[in-house]
Homo-oligomer: A and B are copies of this chain.
């Protein structure tokens, strides 16, 4: 889904900018970029990070970069940051989000004589489009508000301008932006795990649609937050790094509570609880501690070289990587009844292979407890790179098999008290060869996160917008 980081400091921001952006590496695997503002002007560096980590790609650039303010990005697909010259001056921009009406907005701009020169996957670069929306107004604040209003989907933005660093959170707060502070510096991050090691104290979560301007000295609110919030609940379940907090709620702790909730609703007889690294680990620990059953590691991830979570689009390669990065520990599997707490089941294809490997190692039983309800709707608000079609979702596939179409009775299938729900879950269980499968219920998930349901986006589970 991408990540962003910005910093305004007294002297040289490069150390903080480099590590602060690097700490968003788990959110994307395609492009990374930095822009720095020095008295000599704006400078940017962009690298392809598909085959090597952000750090190894940018290390050589560091000595050549210097400046008091900077912004960085881990990007889903597109080259970022962009440097834009316009009537507002020359500025750098990074964005996180998803623009569903990209073509319409681009056409509208072209008809006004605006051109696009940053092509991306054969089309207009979404970040350049956001810049054209900003340029339609006479101030950065009005421009950012224009972008928030016109984009269908979501869009959080950082700008590096002559006046300072602008941070604008998405209109409905679907993606977070958190401010941090240390003497002489202000920073803005999507993931607060970027803060402690750089010695920033988190000071404020921007509200939905809120816009601020940061300099080394001040944080100026340019636009107050909107009332309505729809922050993505999946951030706690899957995307976020364990050390991060959104809206003041820590990811690891929320995952522990998710696991505990699963355990409280469970009475299966098992020998050990485990997670599939990395995203299942927090949930599994929570389950094990609540249930008083040993937590163990029958799968270890080979982190020295398979470090990142997301994968290339090529399916064969994804499957190979999925296999190679997990190593089974025969001694902890053979003859055992294993329960896996997983963050979620998306497509279930790799999971099926993973479960099969446990049986190949002699597992007696394999139980699965996803930390969230079945994914029935594909996300319209953020780029979720694992999915090519809604029908790839394990739940939808099961519905399609049952109904002959994947488009019917979705409300009912999303209801855990319905017959249809049970049939769907049983079909998924069967396909994955699980001994038992029991999903988290929505109220338990909401309680584990700890925000009111109407402040969370739960669209992918219940279709509520």
Q: Show the binding face of A for B, using Cβ within 8 Å.
A: 19, 22-23, 25-26, 40-42, 51-56, 59, 82-87, 90, 106, 110-119, 122-124, 128, 131-132, 135-136, 193, 196-197, 241-243, 245, 250, 252-253, 256, 278, 281-282, 285, 288-289, 292, 294-297, 300-309, 323-324, 326-332, 361
Contacts and interface: CB of A to CB of B under 8 A. Distances in A.
A305 B85 contact: no
A304 B55 CA distance: 10
Nearest to A132: B115
For A23, A85, A90, A110, the residue with the greatest tally of chain B CB atoms inside 10 Å of its CB is: A85
A38 to B, nearest CB: 11
A196 B334 CA distance: 14
A406 B110 CA distance: 49
A41 B122 contact: yes
A297 B278 contact: no
For A54, A59, A245, A289, the residue with the greatest tally of chain B CB atoms inside 10 Å of its CB is: A289
Contact of A118 (B52, B117, B285): B117
Contacts of A90: 119
Given A278-B303, A300-B243, A87 B111 contact: yes
Contact of A305 (B53, B242, B253, B330): B53
B324 A19 contact: yes
Given A243-B327, A324-B197, A330-B196, A304 B86 contact: no
Contacts of A278: 303
Contacts of A303: 278, 301, 303, 307-308
A308 B306 CA distance: 10
A86 B115 contact: yes
A contacts with B: majority SS: mixed
B289 A85 contact: no
Number of copies: 4
Contact of A328 (B42, B115, B196): B196
B113 A305 contact: no
B242 A300 contact: yes
A131 B118 CA distance: 13
Given A242-B297, A252-B332, A116 B86 contact: yes
For A26, A131, A304, A305, the residue with the greatest tally of chain B CB atoms inside 10 Å of its CB is: A304
A253 B332 contact: yes
Contacts of A304: 25-26, 53-54, 307-309
A297 B252 contact: yes
A252 B331 contact: yes
Contacts of A23: 302, 327
A252 B84 contact: no
B297 A288 contact: no
A288 B288 CA distance: 11
A25 B327 contact: no
Nearest to A25: B304
A332 B245 CA distance: 12
Given A51-B59, A196-B330, A302-B193, A115 B131 contact: yes
Given A250-B330, A295-B288, A113 B112 contact: yes
Given A23-B302, A53-B305, A84-B115, 16 more contacts: A25-B302, A40-B122, A52-B52, A52-B56, A53-B53, A86-B113, A86-B114, A87-B113, A115-B135, A193-B302, A196-B327, A197-B326, A250-B329, A253-B331, A303-B308, A304-B309
A339 to B, nearest CB: 14
28 contacts: A22-B305, A25-B305, A55-B305, A56-B56, A82-B117, A84-B117, A85-B124, A86-B110, A86-B116, A87-B110, A87-B113, A90-B119, A113-B114, A114-B115, A115-B135, A117-B117, A193-B327, A196-B327, A196-B330, A241-B302, A242-B297, A242-B329, A243-B327, A243-B328, A250-B329, A252-B300, A253-B329, A281-B297
A84 B116 contact: yes
A83 B197 CA distance: 41
A16 to B, nearest CB: 12
Contacts of A51: 56, 59
A116 B327 contact: no
Given A42-B119, A330-B196, A330-B250, A300 B241 contact: yes
